Amino acid sequence: MSELLETCEQAARAGARELLAWRGRFQQREKAPADLVTDADLASQAAVRQVVAAQFPHHLFVGEEKTSQIEAGDDDFVWLVDPLDGTTNYIHGYPCYAVSVAVVRGGELLAGVIYDPLAEEFYKAELGGGAFCNGTRLETSRVITVGEALVAVSLPPRAGPESPDVADMVRMIQESQAIRRSGSAALNLAYVAHGRLDAFWATKIQPWDVAAGVLLVREAGGIVTSRGGGEFDVWAPNFLATAGAELHADVRRVLGPGSI
């Protein structure tokens, strides 16, 4: 295991310890309508950042909470961290949330982990090294058509009827086997890598939400592109992740070109 991946693991576990410790005693506030943050988010990010800074003090750090703007060059290592992916679930005691930690250089995803502390499932991947959950190597499912697929959808807070995400969901409901909205983009991608879900996409999302998960899917044999089928850009991450190429083509058929 590389030093980058080992640090991802140590950082994610440190963040998760804070999430468990803060259960039932946190305060919350709105960053934007229906977009919440808690003491646990902040404590988790601080713990993650402390681990990363101790190992790589000169690397750049981008977290969801309280991170200033950065300008990263092609040679800079950048850590992309969601200290609590699934904050609304966490607030309600709904068991679907995780810590996501990834490192990227020049737009290339190098290593990443997603840790679900309630399920005690630890997902990790590094470029060219495969994807694993609790030590077991992962492979995406063999589903090749939308009609057979269990797919996840991502909707922004209070999405209106004209939202492209809602339009995508309506199209997919009519052809897929079933759809799910879990509230955690990181875990959705981990589940695609695990073969529990067959496809997942989003038209608007943040780099820290998906960096580790995209690497997991790719290292498990899946396909990740932009929502429209072009190259995935970690810094502007609309995306489509599927179990394989045939399913990817069929999902694109159902969704259509969309607005992206």
Helix axes 3-22, 39-55, angle to 10 degrees: 160
The CATH class for the domain spanning 146-255 reads alpha beta
- Distance in angstroms (rounded) separating the CA atoms of residues 112 and 6: 10
Strand-pair partners of 112: 102, 125
3-137 in CATH: which number?
Answer: 3.30.540.10
- Is residue 156 within 8 Å of 163, Cβ to Cβ? yes
Strand-pair partners of 29: 37
Q: In the chain, where are the structural domains located? A: 3-137, 146-255
pLDDT > 60? residue 199: yes
Strands 178-180 and 136-137: unpaired
pTM: 0.93
Write the pLDDT tens digit of every residue in 69-124.
566 777 899 999 999 999 989 989 999 999 999 999 999 999 999 999 999 999 99
- Distance in angstroms (rounded) separating the CA atoms of residues 61 and 152: 29
Give the mean pLDDT of 153-164. Answer: 83
